[in-house]
Chains A and B, each alone.
Chain A
């Protein structure tokens, strides 16, 4: 483990949510630093890789951009496999996409758990915040409550177009992934990995949960 060269991590991260909420745009912004108003609809799944320097270590994020149409739902089990974290995205200008959030979260938790039986770290993204905040208006506190009730480790208002909060959201997710990975390593006995189902009493960091909400009063 303690090699002389930099330690590398590879994490598979899912980006899910209703169609047209901006999943592909967020990934393009995050990985390629650009934005185009007319991407093509994602069919099946697309992939992108983001490399981060993280505390003297290298973190590679393999981002899985999953098509938003509900009817492809059967496929999600295949796509979710071995993911370590997820973004669930909705469009702040379209309430229906917010309502779909719980469906996506339930689908994710039902089909994917970590080796220790826990759910993967999931961050909620309220995208297109440059276009209005219909869904969020006077809703800040409720959002935090919503996240806690639904098992999100944090939420961010983002804009792929204006590059708002995307790096921050990714950092938050990575922090939680690393925490949950440590958590799993600790539960490792000698050289066999056995899933530990004991409760770990809310060991996840809640700091990033609060620190990023400059936008709401």
Chain B
């Protein structure tokens, strides 16, 4: 199932060639007009206008931020009706994506209640702020993945207003190799597929469409009400848009280009019905084990209300987002029966929903992320993560993502790393009976979500998801071993995640060492109180020192590398 639904496959099925040559340009042409298409095709225009870009379109002047510009074009492509309203707001990434969602809603003739939640806000951030996407995207809107990751690591995360866009690439909603012209089509395909998937389980289990309320949780009752209201509003909005389009159409009939337009509109419709047909065929064969799915839904319904409701995103009217979260989790469980739902996924998924503020994009980024994480959430994965079963995947050396997936699974390694960094503390924990490192379990599974203040936790999640230090340790290794491969100097299984674990322990050394276990419940049982910046800094220092020591040991121990100076130079250059 995974492979059928995953965005990777989206890529290969609707390959860029197809998008570019067959569907893409025509669609752009048809709806936005030749000027915009020109500017997209001609990289010079985009290149030369760093900062603000002015496009003359039918709706008058539109000021676009150059970095987001291409994204904005995406939304324009599908949403002529919103142009005038949005012309001032176009730099807000979330609103850009959000309007993309709306366009999908308008385009995909699915029932309105199946459509995605509207963006929480259409208010704009100031245009033209330089940020992570500067210098990361090329003229066609392709993202240099390694530069994106480097940026995130070196800057300790991206600024919150850019997080939505950065995460869409970081977590694979869009392949970094996709161009701005391809993305609206990918987005459309993802939206159609998600909606087909969601309707499929809803049809199979009509009773589970609505969250069952036991009436004791007034907040939850309100959440359902807000959610219903929002859907009703979305339905009405879609209706109005359709109305507007019809009027527009009537007006345009008098125009010369009418005939051509009609033709192209026809093509859009055809493409959409093709996408829907494709999705239906894709998921037709899928059958659900209804008992399993119902059990998953029962647990989801227990956990969704227990998502961190103190976050602004889930407060007040935002509590309706809990129901969006529920739909995403059920859809994921239904189409990934081997993973289904495990406690903690609600926390993980809520992070994506909050950052991306789009049901469809959250589903796909969450699924991508789960590809990595699912091994942890499965019973055997969790076991492996803690218990003395050092599990190594032999096939994953070299591939950074997979490496992270594998080594991240082993909390055992946290203990091993601590032994390297602070043998005294490690021995103390072992004699105190904490050698199973159970307290690291939640840290690793939820990516330290509950150990830091919320904003910091998001930042750390972003940094850890970059796998950048893992990349460095590999580069160090490669620098050392080329041309002749030799035994590893650096244990590549010690991921940055594990360095964070070890650093938290070492930071709390004073509290851990002298105090006998009986004095305290657990010295590390402190939620949301850790200082991220200091932990990050120290973890990085530990990592650097560890690499250095390993390298030195290696050189003293066995064969002298060809050029020590060169090696250390390279090592340093990875950091600074």
Q: Do A and B belong to a common assembly?
A: yes
Asked if B557 is at the interface of the complex by the 8 Å CB criterion, the answer is no
Interface string of A41-75 (1 = CB under 8 A from B): 11111111100000000001011000111011111
Interface string of B417-445 (1 = CB under 8 A from A): 00000000000000001001011011001
A13 to chain B, nearest CB (A): 11
Contact (Cβ within 8 A) A78 B346: no
Chain A positions 124-168 with a Cβ under 8 Å from a chain B Cβ:
131
Contact (Cβ within 8 A) B386 A78: yes
Residues from chain A with a CB closer than 8 A to the CB of B214 are 93
Determine the distance from Cα of A81 to Cα of B387 in the docked complex, in whole angstroms. Answer: 13
Contact (Cβ within 8 A) A74 B518: no
B221 to chain A, nearest CB (A): 12
Chain B positions 156-196 with a Cβ under 8 Å from a chain A Cβ:
none
Chain B positions 332-386 with a Cβ under 8 Å from a chain A Cβ:
342-344, 346-347, 378-380, 382-383, 386
Determine the distance from Cα of A44 to Cα of B449 in the docked complex, in whole angstroms. Answer: 14
Q: A46-B525, A69-B343 are in contact. Are A41 and B380 (CB under 8 A)?
A: no
Q: A40-B306, A40-B347 are in contact. Are A74 and B382 (CB under 8 A)?
A: yes
Total contacting residues, chain A, CB less than 8 A? 35
Picked from B307, B344, B387, B517, the residue with its CB within 8 Å of the CB of A43 is: B344
Asked if A37 is at the interface of the complex by the 8 Å CB criterion, the answer is yes
Determine the distance from Cα of A77 to Cα of B219 in the docked complex, in whole angstroms. Answer: 37
Residues from chain B with a CB closer than 8 A to the CB of A74 are 379-380, 382-383, 387
Contact (Cβ within 8 A) B307 A19: no
Q: A72-B382, A74-B380, A78-B386 are in contact. Are A43 and B442 (CB under 8 A)?
A: yes
Look across to chain B and name the residue whose beta carbon is closest to the beta carbon of A60: B518
Determine the distance from Cα of A78 to Cα of B415 in the docked complex, in whole angstroms. Answer: 15
Residues from chain A with a CB closer than 8 A to the CB of B525 are 46-48
Q: A38-B309, A74-B383 are in contact. Are A44 and B441 (CB under 8 A)?
A: yes
Contact (Cβ within 8 A) B380 A10: no
Contact (Cβ within 8 A) A48 B521: yes
Contact (Cβ within 8 A) B379 A73: yes
Asked if B114 is at the interface of the complex by the 8 Å CB criterion, the answer is no
Determine the distance from Cα of A48 to Cα of B521 in the docked complex, in whole angstroms. Answer: 5
Contact (Cβ within 8 A) A69 B386: no
Contact (Cβ within 8 A) A8 B442: no
Contact (Cβ within 8 A) B518 A67: no
Q: A40-B307, A41-B303 are in contact. Are A67 and B379 (CB under 8 A)?
A: no
The range of chain B's interface size is 35 or more
Asked if B308 is at the interface of the complex by the 8 Å CB criterion, the answer is yes
B294 to chain A, nearest CB (A): 12
Residues from chain A with a CB closer than 8 A to the CB of B299 are 19, 69
B85 to chain A, nearest CB (A): 37
Contact (Cβ within 8 A) B379 A40: no
Contact (Cβ within 8 A) B518 A10: yes
Asked if B217 is at the interface of the complex by the 8 Å CB criterion, the answer is yes
Contact (Cβ within 8 A) A78 B436: yes
Asked if A107 is at the interface of the complex by the 8 Å CB criterion, the answer is no
Asked if A183 is at the interface of the complex by the 8 Å CB criterion, the answer is no
Q: A44-B441, A49-B520 are in contact. Are A67 and B343 (CB under 8 A)?
A: yes
Asked if A82 is at the interface of the complex by the 8 Å CB criterion, the answer is yes
Asked if A104 is at the interface of the complex by the 8 Å CB criterion, the answer is no
Asked if A79 is at the interface of the complex by the 8 Å CB criterion, the answer is yes
B520 to chain A, nearest CB (A): 6
B211 to chain A, nearest CB (A): 14
Residues from chain B with a CB closer than 8 A to the CB of A77 are 387
Residues from chain B with a CB closer than 8 A to the CB of A44 are 438, 441-442, 445
Residues from chain A with a CB closer than 8 A to the CB of B521 are 47-49, 62-63
Residues from chain B with a CB closer than 8 A to the CB of A72 are 342-343, 379, 382
Asked if B24 is at the interface of the complex by the 8 Å CB criterion, the answer is no
Determine the distance from Cα of A25 to Cα of B439 in the docked complex, in whole angstroms. Answer: 20
Look across to chain B and name the residue whose beta carbon is closest to the beta carbon of A74: B383
Picked from B216, B378, B383, B517, the residue with its CB within 8 Å of the CB of A131 is: B216
A98 to chain B, nearest CB (A): 15
B430 to chain A, nearest CB (A): 13
Residues from chain B with a CB closer than 8 A to the CB of A43 are 343-344, 347, 441-442, 445-446, 450
Determine the distance from Cα of A28 to Cα of B367 in the docked complex, in whole angstroms. Answer: 34
B413 to chain A, nearest CB (A): 16
Residues from chain B with a CB closer than 8 A to the CB of A10 are 517-518
- A residues with CB within 8 A of B: 8, 10, 19-20, 37-49, 60, 62-63, 67-69, 71-75, 77-79, 81-82, 93, 131
27 contacts between A and B (CB under 8 A): A10-B518, A19-B343, A38-B309, A39-B306, A40-B307, A40-B450, A41-B302, A41-B303, A43-B343, A43-B442, A43-B445, A44-B438, A44-B441, A47-B439, A48-B525, A49-B520, A49-B521, A60-B518, A62-B522, A69-B343, A71-B378, A74-B383, A75-B386, A77-B387, A78-B387, A78-B436, A79-B438
- B residues with CB within 8 A of A: 214, 216-217, 219, 299, 302-303, 305-309, 342-344, 346-347, 378-380, 382-383, 386-387, 433, 436, 438-439, 441-442, 445-446, 450, 517-518, 520-522, 525
Instruction: Give 9 A-B pairs besides A62-B521, A71-B378, A74-B380 with Cβ atoms closer than 8 angstroms.
Output: A10-B517, A38-B217, A45-B441, A48-B521, A69-B343, A72-B342, A75-B441, A78-B438, A81-B433
The 3 closest A-B CB pairs, nearest first, are A49-B521, A44-B441, A74-B383
